[in-house]
Structure 1
Amino acid sequence: MPAERLVIVFDVNETLSDMAPLGEAFAQIGAPRGLAKLWFATLLRDGFALTASGDNKAFAAIGADALRTLLEAEGISRDLDAAVERIMTAMQNLSLHPDVPDGVRALAAAGHRLITLTNGAAANTRKLFAAGGIRDNFELLLSVDDAPAWKPARAAYEYAGASAGSEPSNMLLVAVHPWDIHGAARAGLRTAWLNRTGARYPSYFQAPDVVITALTELPPVLAGQGLAKGQGLANGR
């Protein structure tokens, strides 16, 4: 049992779910595989813009409309509704990254409380976790659908803290997205950047407390830190 029982908050899209198969789904409707990354970036951009202006729209609604616009620009107008449905269905049927199940189980076995906070739908998280056999390891599956705003707005992380009954200083966000790391850090959470691709962390965002390349690296890092409350993790700054 760790000296400190953390509430570990997981981002879901890309952090836990492997979105690489979306490229194949785009190819199947006659679109470039690379359009998958542009679509997801567009979806996030527009969701962030709505959040900045005080709105909170559903991930799926923004995603479908953004997808329709991108596909039309690619000249895919025939059977457009079916094409949009195919991509959105593929998004709902992703699998976990291979390192996730063992990492999650080790963190739960160490006594940490595990929750999620996604800009997507909680239903998709439940489906993903049930298929991957890790649902029972999580205490809460949270979505910004029920929060005042999308991440990385402070209100999203405060919603997670209130839901878990935890102070920000006792929470650790795990995410692949630097923008999520920055938002959580600004809200007072500790952070772990899951850098599977060897990317450079942007200098304009607040640095993570710890950097890992697979989720299975996190349990021994936490066990080795002897974390004191309010103390950052040693190997990330």
Structure 2
Amino acid sequence: MPITTFVFDAYGTLFDVNAAAMQAAKDPAHADLAAVWPAVARDWRLKQLQYTWLRAVAGRHCDFWQVTQDGLDWAMEANGVIAMATRTRLLELYWELAAYAEVPAMLTALKAQGKATAILSNGSPDMLNGAVSSAQISDVLDAVLSVEDVGIFKPHDRVYDLVGAHFGCTKDEVLFVSSNGWDAAGAAGYGFQTAWVNRAGEPIDRLYAQPHHVLHDLTTIPELT
């Protein structure tokens, strides 16, 4: 079955989650980040994800903005960053994360092929709309789907169900793309074709399914039709 619908995770896949800490660290007003921003960015992302999994398992859902703040607070404390002004600035920047350089051209190429395109993310609708607007890619996306519609985080099947419910497509018509190995595995186990964008060159996760494609970036996504 040809791929008709290309669905992308947002954070770390289309949008660079390290961009907020990197940008804030360049500002002399946030000199406390200068030496530790890579560790802050890494720990922030790790805790953000861990908190989604733990909340899903425990049945204690909250929106992604809450786990984003909680993850940042942990990361700042772990790395000795205490300035509240720095916290405020990092959170502001998270609403306008930079898209990876290849994203606009890649999405434009998919639309030129007549493909449907969407985001499927843990992010709350407001956060996602802010990032999409900031990156100026709304005109090459057909939908922005959020886990808030089902009240549980990925990789629960109810999240992946949102794609078929919105587009009326079958699972084998979907290519799901994520920079998170666990998310690509979850989507593959669900029945989607999947591509893992392995920018860091990590090993494949030992889970119940594996991605069908492993890529270094998003450039060649339009070739996977």
State the TM-score, normalized to the length of structure 2: 0.87
- Does the 8 Å contact 1:26/1:36 carry over to 2? no
CA distance in 2, matches of 1:186, 1:52: 18
Partner of 2:137: 134
Matched, 1:39 2:44: yes
CA distance in 2, matches of 1:18, 1:62: 18
Correspondence 1:68-83 to 2 at 5 A: 68-77=73-82, 79-80=83-84, 82-83=85-86
- Does the 8 Å contact 2:182/2:207 carry over to 1? no
Partner of 1:48: 53
Matched, 1:57 2:62: yes
By how many angstroms is 1:44 displaced?
Answer: 0.7
Amino acid in the other structure paired with 2:149:
D
How many matched pairs?
A: 218
- Does the 8 Å contact 2:6/2:176 carry over to 1? yes
Amino acid in the other structure paired with 2:222:
P
CA distance in 1, matches of 2:31, 2:209: 39
CA distance in 2, matches of 1:39, 1:69: 7
Note the alpha carbon deviations across 1:112-148, whole angstroms, 9 max, x for none.
1111111112333333333333211211111112223
CA distance in 2, matches of 1:162, 1:47: 23
Matched, 1:8 2:6: yes
Partner of 1:233: none
The 1:130–1:207 alpha-carbon spacing in structure 2 relative to 1, beyond 3 Å, is same
Correspondence 1:141-156 to 2 at 5 A: 141-156=144-159
Partner of 2:108: 105
CA distance in 1, matches of 2:8, 2:75: 29
By how many angstroms is 1:75 displaced?
Answer: 4.1
CA distance in 1, matches of 2:19, 2:128: 17
Note the alpha carbon deviations across 1:41-82, whole angstroms, 9 max, x for none.
1111011110112232111112212322332344444x43x3
CA distance in 2, matches of 1:64, 1:209: 33
Q: RMSD of the alignment, in Å?
A: 2.1
Amino acid in the other structure paired with 1:39:
W
Query: Tell me, what secondary structure is at the counterpart of 1:216?
Result: coil
- Does the 8 Å contact 1:103/1:216 carry over to 2? yes
Partner of 1:157: 160
**Which stretch has the larger CA shift, 150-159 or 211-220?**
211-220
**Which stretch has the larger CA shift, 110-119 or 190-199?**
190-199
The 1:198–1:76 alpha-carbon spacing in structure 2 relative to 1, beyond 3 Å, is closer
Query: Tell me, what secondary structure is at the counterpart of 2:195?
Result: strand
Query: Tell me, what secondary structure is at the counterpart of 1:17?
Result: coil
- Does the 8 Å contact 1:104/1:215 carry over to 2? no
Note the alpha carbon deviations across 1:150-190, whole angstroms, 9 max, x for none.
11111110123212222222221111110101111121111
The 1:52–1:220 alpha-carbon spacing in structure 2 relative to 1, beyond 3 Å, is same
Partner of 1:229: none
Q: Which runs of 4+ in 1 moved over 3 A?
A: 72-77
Query: Tell me, what secondary structure is at the counterpart of 1:204?
Result: coil
The 1:83–1:55 alpha-carbon spacing in structure 2 relative to 1, beyond 3 Å, is same
CA distance in 1, matches of 2:23, 2:100: 18
By how many angstroms is 1:216 displaced?
Answer: 2.2
Structure 2: state its 5+ residue gaps. none
Partner of 1:231: none
CA distance in 2, matches of 1:136, 1:189: 25
CA distance in 2, matches of 1:73, 1:128: 27
